[in-house]
Amino acid sequence: MSAILSANAELIITIVKIVLLLFIVLTVDAYLTWFERKLVAHIQSRWGPHRVGPHGLLQPLADGLKFLFKEDPTPAGVDKFVYFLAPLLALALALTSIAIIPFGPEPLRLFGREIYLGIAPPDLNIGILALFAITALGVYGVALAGWSSNNKYSLLGGLRSSAQMISYELALTMSVVGVLLMAGSFNLTKIIEAQGRHPEWGFLGWNIWPQILGFLCFFIAAIAETNRAPFDLPEAESELVAGFHTEYASFKFAMFFIAEYTSMTTISCLCSILFFGGWLSPFPASWTWTHYLPSVVLIPFGLWVIWDGIRYETIFGRVILPVVGTAITALGAAFVLYPGVNEFVQGPFWLLSKIFVFLFIYVWMRGTLPRFRYDQLMAFGWKLLLPISIVNVIVTSFVILAKMQWGGK
Amino acid sequence: MVPTNYYIILSAILFGIGVFAFVFKRNIITIFMSIELMLNAVNLAFVAFSQAWGKLDGQVFVLFVIVVAAAEAAVGLGIIILIARNRQTLNVERVDLMKL
Amino acid sequence: MTASLVVFFALAGLAVIGAVSLILQKHPIHSALSLIVVMVALAGLYLLLGAEFVAAVQIIVYGGAIMVLFVFVIMLLNAGVEEQTSISKLAGPPGLLLVVALAGFVTATIVRTTAGVQGSSQTGAMASTSGISNMLFRDFVYPFELTSFLILVAVMGATVLAQREKP
C-alpha cells in the first residue's frame, strides 16, 4: 500500500491539489456573486441580498440549490450536441486556465516532499502562452451557445461575442509583450521574480510603473475578454434579452455563470502577477515588521465580525457570526504565534489581497460605467487599444535596447 | 520516443483527408477549412523533421505558414462573404457563372 | 509501448477522427468544430515533439483566431446544411481512391527516404523559444518583414472586399 503511495506520490498530490483548487475556486465564485450583488447594491443605495443568512451570506448556497432544482427545458430546434457542449466547454476552459497560476513562492514541505502552490509545475516554460491559448479557446463556449440555441437574440449575442473576442485578443496579447520583454521569460514565476530584482525598492520595482500603458490596455482588453460590463454586449439585457444564454436554464446556465466568474478570477490573478508583483510585498524587504500585516488585517476584522455578530437581528446570525469571527481572529493570532507559518503565508497573502483588489475594481466598474454601443466597442478596440499597446511594445523595446547599449550591463 | 516516421505518416494521412475533403465537400466554407487542414498536416511534418534533425528551421517555417494561413483566412473569408452576398448561396456548384 | 507512444496514438487517433468527421459532418459549424479538434490534437503532438512555442501559437492563432473567424462567418452568413447534388456525390469514390493512392505514395516515399532519420536529442524548451526568436530575427529577418507586409496587404484586401458598396 505504502509502496503504491510513494510510487504515485506526484500523481496523488496533483489530484489532491486539483480537487482542492476546484473546491476553493467554486467557493470563491459563489461568494463572488454575493460580493458583487452586495457591492453593486451599495453603489446603487440598496441593501442587496440580506434575507438568507446573516448579511445574506447564505445567498450563494440558496442560489446554487435553486440552479440545481430548476426545470431544465431544451428548446425545440436546437442543435443538441452543440447546445450541450457549449456550457461544458466554457466551464472546462475557464477552470483549466486557473491551473496555470502559481499562488506562492515557497513550496509547502509536507511528508518530506515539496508541494508547490498551484497545479502547473513552477518551471512551466510557456506559462503565459498556455494561459492565453486556453482563454483564446474560451470564445467557443459563448459563440456556440449563441448559435446552437436556435434563437435570434442568442445568435446575435454569439456573433457579437466572437467579433469582440477576436478584436480585443490582439490588444490583450500585445499589451503583455512589454512585460515579457522586461522579464525575458514566459514563465509566470520568473516574471514575478524579475519584478523583485531590487528587494529594497518594494512596490517601486513592479512592472506597473514602466508598463502603465500596457497595464491599462491589458486590463481593459481583459474585461472585454471576460464579457463583463461595460463590455457585456454579448448578454446586453436591454437589447438581446440575455444574449447568448437566453435559452439556457438551470445548471447549464449556472455553468456559464461559474465560467464567467472563474475567468474574472483568472484575469485578476494575471493582472497582479504581470503588473503588480504577484506575491511580492509592496514594502522593502528590510521592513520585517510588515510581515505581521496579515495578522494586523485578520485580527481586527475577526473582532469586528464578532462585535457585529452579537448585535445581529436574528438568532442565527448571533450564533454564526461570532463563530466565524473567532475563527478569523484565531487564524490571525496563529500567524503571530508561529513565525514559520507567518513567513509561509506572506506570498499567498499579498497575491490574494491583490486579486481581491482587482475583483473589487471589476465589480466597481460594473456598478459605475454604462455599456458601450457596438460601434464604439469596435472603434475603441481597433483604433485606440491596439495602437497604444503596439506603441508600448516599441517604446519598451527601445528602452531595453538603450539600457543594453549604454547601461553598462 | 516516438519514431519520426509515425509523425510523417500521420501528416500524410491528414493531408490526404484534406485533399479528399477539398474535392468532395460542396460548401465553400468547408472547402476553405480543408485547405487549413492540409496546411496543418504540412506543419506537423515540418515540426517532426525539425525535431528529427535537432534544428529549429522547421518550427520557424511553421510560424510563417501560420501567418500566411491567417492572412489567407482573412482574405478568403472576405471573398466568401462577398460571394454569399452577391449570389445568396454557399454551394460551389451554384457559383458557376462568370457574370451575374 | 512507452507512455509517449500511447500519448502519440491517442492524439493521432483524435486528429484522424476529427479530420474524417470534417468530411462526414453536413453542417459547416460541425465541420469547423471537427477541425478545431484536429488543431488541438496537433498542438498536443507539437508538445510531444518538444515544440512548446509552436504548440501555443498553434492554439492561439489557429484555434483562437482563424477558426473563430470561420465560426463567425458561418454564423454571420447563417450557412445551412450542405447540399450535395448527384454529380458531386459521384466525385466521392474516385476521389477517395486517388487520395488513398496519394497518401500511400507520399508515405512510402517519405518512409523510404527517411528510414535513417531518428529523433535526435530534445532541445530544451526555453532554448527552443529563444532559438526560434534568434532565427526569426537574424536568419529569417527579411521573410519576417515580408510577412508583416503580407498581413498589411491582407488586412487592406479583406476590408475592401467585405465593404458594402456605396449606393
ipTM above 0.85, yes or no: yes
Instruction: Say if residue C123's pLDDT is above 50.
Output: no
Question: What is the distance between the alpha carbons of residues A129 and A173, in angstroms, rounded to a whole number?
Answer: 9
Chain C residues within 8 A of A165 when measuring between CB atoms = 68
Contact across the interface for A133 and C125, Cβ inside 8 Å: no
Question: What is the distance between the alpha carbons of residues C38 and C16, in angstroms, rounded to a whole number?
Answer: 7
For C28-63, the pLDDT digits (tens) are: 888 888 999 999 999 988 888 888 888 888 888 888
Contact A148, A83 (CB under 8 A): yes
Question: What is the distance between the alpha carbons of residues C20 and B21, in angstroms, rounded to a whole number?
Answer: 9
A162 inside 8 A of chain C by CB: yes
Please name the chains neighbouring A, where neighbouring means 3+ C-beta pairs under 8 angstroms.
C
Give the mean pLDDT of chain A.
82
Residues 21-40 of B with CB under 8 A from C: 21, 23-27, 29-30, 32-34, 36-37, 40
A136 inside 8 A of chain C by CB: yes
Of A81, A130, A159, the CB nearest to C75: A159
Contact across the interface for A162 and C72, Cβ inside 8 Å: yes
Contact B56, C132 (CB under 8 A): yes
Residue C125 confidence class, pLDDT cut points 50, 70, 90: very low
Q: Average of pLDDT values for A90-108?
A: 83
Of C51, C102, C131, the CB nearest to B16: C102
B80 inside 8 A of chain C by CB: yes
Question: What is the distance between the alpha carbons of residues C109 and A359, in angstroms, rounded to a whole number?
Answer: 58
Give the mean pLDDT of chain B.
84
Question: What is the distance between the alpha carbons of residues A360 and A364, in angstroms, rounded to a whole number?
Answer: 6
Report DSSP letters for A13-82, one per residue.
Answer: HHHHHHHHHHHHHHHHHHHHHHHHHHHHHHHTT---S-SSSGGGTTHHHHHHHHHHHS-----TT--HHH
Instruction: Say if residue C127's pLDDT is above 70.
Output: no
Which of A147, A180, A225 to mutate to test binding with chain C, by most C CBs within 10 Å of its CB?
A147
Tell which wins on pLDDT, A204 or A360.
A360
Count CB-CB contacts under 10 A for residue A83. 20
Compute the nearest-CA separation of B72 from chain C (Å).
7
Q: Which residues pair with A196 in a beta bridge?
A: none
Task: Identify which of C31, C29, C60 has the alpha carbon closest to the alpha carbon of residue C43.
Answer: C60
Domain B4-91 has CATH 1.10.10.60: no
Contact across the interface for C99 and B20, Cβ inside 8 Å: yes
Contact across the interface for B30 and C31, Cβ inside 8 Å: yes
Of C29, C56, C74, the CB nearest to A129: C56
> What are the backbone angles phi and psi of residue A137, rounded to the nearest 5°?
-75, -20
Task: Identify which of A14, A103, A22 has the alpha carbon closest to the alpha carbon of residue A349.
Answer: A103
The CA-based angle A97-A98-A103, given to 5 degrees, is 145
Q: Average of pLDDT values for C2-11?
A: 84
Of C72, C74, C126, the CB nearest to A163: C72
What percentage of chain A exceeds 90 in pLDDT? 0
Task: Identify which of A400, A335, A8 has the alpha carbon closest to the alpha carbon of residue A194.
Answer: A400
pTM: 0.85
- Please tell me the predicted confidence (pLDDT) of residue C85: 67
**Domain chopping of chain A, boundaries:** 60-279+361-406
Chain C residues within 8 A of A79 when measuring between CB atoms = 27, 29
SS (H, E, C) A262-275: HHHHHHHHHHHHHH
B20 inside 8 A of chain C by CB: yes
Please name the chains neighbouring B, where neighbouring means 3+ C-beta pairs under 8 angstroms.
C
Tell which wins on pLDDT, A1 or C31.
C31
Question: What is the distance between the alpha carbons of residues C116 and A91, in angstroms, rounded to a whole number?
Answer: 46
Chain C residues within 8 A of B16 when measuring between CB atoms = 99-100, 102-103, 106
Instruction: Say if residue C126's pLDDT is above 50.
Output: no
Question: In sequence order, which residues have a C-beta less than 8 Å from that of residue A117 and are 6 or more positions away?
Answer: A102, A103, A104, A107, A108, A348
